[in-house]
Structures are given as structure tokens and as C-alpha cells.
Structure 1
Amino acid sequence: MKRTSVGVLLVAGLAGAVVGFLVDQILTGAGRATFTPSLLLPVLLVLLGAADIAFALPIRRAITGADPRPVDPFRAVRVAMLAKASSIVGAVVAGVAAGLLAFLLTRPVTPVGSVVAVLATLVAALVLLAAALVAERLCTLRKDDDDEQPGPPEPGLGLSHHD
């Protein structure tokens, strides 16, 4: 499994920013209030980031040999996939928050309460993104020196040593 690439995160963040800006533009164009995220959202994003790290640490201990118990490969893959998904969610939510913030800051009168909620969401999304990338790294095996070298042919694969 490949690590989450910077390109994917940038595209997700940019798409989120466009959506966040357009949502507020459409809402105000229709005469409605701008979208303000709940103050519970930043708390949940930080808790998800902490959970990512908490799930990844036992896997890292097993990989490094600090924990004598073997690592369950299915659990390791699930945790790595959770970290990968969390990083993308963090990028999208950070993008949406940045789009909302850009819209709010371009208004003649800036609603302070909304700006605080959006800033808290932006910071929490960036914390989730960072925690998810750290968790993904914790679940990564070190590349062996012989990973690039092909091993000897396995018996029964139809390869003959008599050629």
C-alpha cells in the first residue's frame, strides 16, 4: 500500500475550498445565513486524530520489536486505511473551512462568531491531517535492503536449471 500522496491531499483541500466558498455564496445569494460549523466538529476531528495515533502505536511497537506479540496483518491494514482516510477527510474539511473563511473575510462586515467557529474547524482539520499522516507512517514497514533484488525462483514454477 502506498502512502497518501501530497497531490491527493492538495486536490482534496482545493476541492473542499471551492465547495466551502460556493456553499456560502449560494446561501447568501438566496438570502440565507452563511454556513457555520458546529463547535463540536473541531472536538470530534481532534479526537479522531488522537484515535488514529492510539491505534497505530501498538502496531509500531510490534514492528520495531518493542512488543513481543506478533502484529495482526489485517489489523495493521485496517489502521493504515483509517489513517489514509482520515488524512483525506482532514484535507477536505480544512479546504471547506478555508473556503468558508475566505468568503467570510471578503464580506464588508465580518461575523466574529462564525469566523471563530470556522478557524477552530480549520485548525482541528489540520491537526487531524497531521495526526493521520503520522499514524500512517507508524504503520509502515521499513524497506529491507533486498526488496529491490529478485529472490531465487521458487520450485515448481516451471523454471528449469538445465537451460
Structure 2
Amino acid sequence: MRRTGPLALLGIAVVGAVIGWLLQVALVAGGAPSFIPPVTLYSVLFLLAAGLLLLGRPVRRVVKGKADRPIDPFYAMRILVLAKASGLAGALLVGGAAALLLYAVSRTGTAATPAFWPDVLTGIGALVLCAAGLVVEWWCRIPPQDRAENPESTLEQR
């Protein structure tokens, strides 16, 4: 699996911003109130980031050689996939939260809107989730093997 690149994250954040903006415009155009993120949304984003870091810690210890016992490779793979998904979802939500914030500020012309702080906290929570996903994805990286120590692991000898 390849590591998540910054261009992919930026592209996903732009997609999230476009979707967030269009959904907010559609809500208001339909006569519904604009969307204000609830407390549970950004709270859960922070909790997911903390949980991901806790789940990735055993994998990091094994990769660094500080673990007492080996780890199940399927567990490590699942944590890696969860980290990648968290990074991508965090980037999508960063874009969506930025669009909601921009929409709220553009409608009132000031930061004194009731949606300002929930939008900011949602953006920060999404950014923390994205960062936690990238950190755990980096933790799950297997260090390169020395070819002199393990010659049967090279592809040239197959």
C-alpha cells in the first residue's frame, strides 16, 4: 500500500469544500436553516483521533523493536487501513468544515454568527483526525531490510 500523498489530501479537501458549499446552498435555497455542526460531531472526531493513536501504538512498538511479543499481521493491516481511511475522511471533513465556515461568515460579514465556533471546532477536529491518520500510517511503515542480512527477500533472486 502506498502512503497517502499531500496532493491526494488536498484534492479530497477541495472535493469536501465543494460538496459542503453546495449542500449548504441547497439547504438555504430550500427554505431550511443552514447546517450548524453539533457538539457530538467534533467531539467524536477528537475521540476517533485519540482512539486511532492508541490502536496504532502497539504496531509502532513492534516496528521499533520495543515490543515483548509479536503482533498479529492482520491487526497491523487493519490499523493501517483504518489510518489511511481516517486521513482521507479527515481531509474530506476539513474541506467541508471550511466551506461551512466560509458560508456562515460570508452571509453575516462577521465572525459573530452562531455557526462560527462549531464550524471552527469541526475543522480542527477533522484536521486532528487527518493528522492522526497520517501519523499512524507512518507508524505502520516497515523499515527496509538489509539485503546482506536477508538475501532471500530480494526480488532479483526469485
| Partner Cα distance (2:66, 2:107) in 1 | 55
Name the counterpart of 1:136.
137
Shift in Å, 1:59 = 0.8
RMSD: 1.8
Name the counterpart of 2:123.
122
SS at match of 1:107: helix
Shift in Å, 1:9 = 1.1
SS at match of 1:2: coil
Normalised to the residue count of structure 1, the TM-score between the two structures is 0.86
| Partner Cα distance (2:40, 2:108) in 1 | 28
Name the counterpart of 2:10.
10
Residues 1:79 and 2:82 aligned together: no
The answer for unaligned runs of 5 or more in structure 1 is 154-163
SS at match of 1:70: coil
| Partner Cα distance (2:117, 2:142) in 1 | 40
Q: Which runs of 4+ in 1 moved over 3 A?
A: 108-111, 145-151
Alpha carbons of structure 1 residues 75 and 31: separation in structure 2 relative to 1, 3 Å: same
Contact between 1:19 and 1:96, CA under 8 Å: does it hold in 2?
yes
| Partner Cα distance (2:80, 2:71) in 1 | 13
Contact between 1:20 and 1:96, CA under 8 Å: does it hold in 2?
yes
Contact between 1:18 and 1:99, CA under 8 Å: does it hold in 2?
yes
Look at both structures and tell me which one has the larger radius of gyration over its CA atoms: 1
The residue identity in structure 1 corresponding to 2:131 is A
Normalised to the residue count of structure 2, the TM-score between the two structures is 0.89
Shift in Å, 1:144 = 2.5
The answer for unaligned runs of 5 or more in structure 2 is none
Calculate percent identity across the aligned residue pairs: 37
Which has a greater percent of helix?
A: 2
| Partner Cα distance (2:64, 2:156) in 1 | 24
Name the counterpart of 1:152.
157
Name the count of aligned residue pairs. Answer: 153
Equivalent residue runs for 1:25-40 within 5 Å: 25-40=25-40
